[in-house]
Structure 1
Amino acid sequence: MKYFIVFCFIFSIGNAQEVAVLKYRGGGDWYSNPTALPNLIAFCNDNIDTNIKENVQAVDVGSIDIFQFPFIHMTGHGNVFFSDDDAENLRKYLLSGGFLHIDDNYGMEPYITKELKKVFPNKEVLEIPKNHPIFSSAYEFPNGLPKIHEHDGKAPQAFGIFHEGRLLLLFTFESDLGDGWEDQEVHNDPAEVREKALKMGANIVKYAFEN
């Protein structure tokens, strides 16, 4: 209980609109898509009345520093490993009001699925229905998560972990939103594809800040 009170206090006095990238162990490239979050922040500040700091920090999953950020983004292509202390710290962060968006950049799914069991041993990762507010918080996505990049020809899926009715963790799979947020010349995505990715990203940010 002592930790819970302290962590809530950090949320209440900190800068309300800051986002960070989650740094983790295991060998996966947590630092991939370096232009993604800055571009998403610029889009949100221009279009959904946010005032997010443009400087994106990297925070270690096991550090108390994660409690300074109401929204944390995680991505990569490969292995993820959480120690028991990492898992406990992340669990406290999420239960204290934080939000984590995990965007599979391709190849992350089998590793993160296993590690999330350490974070919430008694909770299931559930597919999020298309009528969930995260698909309409700023822009309408009646068909759910948009497809941004093709990898294995599978449909995009959005999964989540809920606690007392609140979505506290979003895992986007077979969509690759982060690639759509990057500078245009990185992947040469058409403007309409990048806009779709940025609008879905804005929905996630808005939902995270307001719930």
Structure 2
Amino acid sequence: MRLVPILLSFFFFTSGLVYAQDINGFEIARVKYRGGGDWYNDPSSLSNLIRYTNQYVPISINGNYEDVSLGSTDIHSYPFLFLTGHGTITTNNTEVRNLRKYLDNGGFLYVDDDYGLDEHVRQLLKEVYPDEELIELPFNHPIYNQVFEFNNGLPKIHEHDNQSPKGFGLFRNGRLVVFYTYESNLGDGWADPEVHNNAPDVRERALKMGVNILVYALTSI
């Protein structure tokens, strides 16, 4: 495990956004979207990841994460948004503009395809940034080695279509603003053990990669 120097303050200022960080730590949120894609999937996953991160990294994240809608101005209060599910994501122009503003002003979106989300995520991101493309990140990208080393890229948590897991990034002005994991399903690995019956070592790999993502996002804004 790498040592990560992190400077914490009571208020985190970045690119016009103010991220409140009180004595309970950074606050992060799960995206609540329309369309029937079960945004609420694996409700224990994010809490477990936060707890694990707080155990291993000198950073404080509030364990009581929030659920926020893409069209709400509340998303601008959180440096990190998590989006997952299995199906359709429906958005309107207000939600698309709001997400674009959030990302342009320093926010970070992590998307985990829980199977069946891929085409809808790609469509959403194309609406947000028509001129940008998702690109597969090389294994030497810092997100894979931020705290725990994953020299071969993402761990495979669930088989799905038996394809290799891939991590995609969307950049704006040289900054990674969206990280999208496909055919890996980290979120299922973060869930309570009895939910998916993953082996302990599989859950451990999922949680460690999740720590890398969180720490990268919170120290790169």
Shorter-chain TM-score above 0.5: yes
Preserved contact between residue 157 and residue 186 of structure 2 (Cα < 8 Å): yes
Q: Which has the higher strand share?
A: 2
1:26 aligns with 2:35: yes
- State the partner residue of 1:66: 75
Q: Residue deviations 1:68-123, cap 9 Å, x none?
A: 11011000000011211111100110111100000001000011111211100110
Pairs within 5 Å for 1:121-132: 121-132=130-141
Preserved contact between residue 160 and residue 168 of structure 1 (Cα < 8 Å): yes
Mark the runs of 5 or more structure 1 residues left unpaired by the alignment. 1-5
Mark the runs of 5 or more structure 2 residues left unpaired by the alignment. 1-12
- Measure, in 2, the Cα distance between the counterparts of 1:10 and 1:171: 23
- Residue identity (%): 48
- State the partner residue of 1:37: 46
Pairs within 5 Å for 1:43-82: 43-82=52-91
- State the partner residue of 2:179: 170
TM norm structure 2: 0.90
- Measure, in 2, the Cα distance between the counterparts of 1:115 and 1:175: 20
Q: Which has the higher helix share?
A: 1
TM norm structure 1: 0.94
- Measure, in 2, the Cα distance between the counterparts of 1:159 and 1:143: 14
Please give the root-mean-square deviation of Cα atoms over the aligned residues, in Å.
1.4
- Measure, in 2, the Cα distance between the counterparts of 1:122 and 1:196: 34
Preserved contact between residue 156 and residue 175 of structure 1 (Cα < 8 Å): yes
Preserved contact between residue 17 and residue 105 of structure 2 (Cα < 8 Å): no
Pairs within 5 Å for 1:120-199: 120-199=129-208
- Measure, in 1, the Cα distance between the counterparts of 2:110 and 2:17: 20
By how many angstroms is 1:11 displaced?
2.0
Pairs within 5 Å for 1:79-118: 79-118=88-127
SS of residue matched to 2:94: helix
By how many angstroms is 1:50 displaced?
1.8
Preserved contact between residue 77 and residue 108 of structure 1 (Cα < 8 Å): yes
Aligned length: 205
Q: Residue deviations 1:119-172, cap 9 Å, x none?
A: 001101111111100001101000011111111100000011001221110110
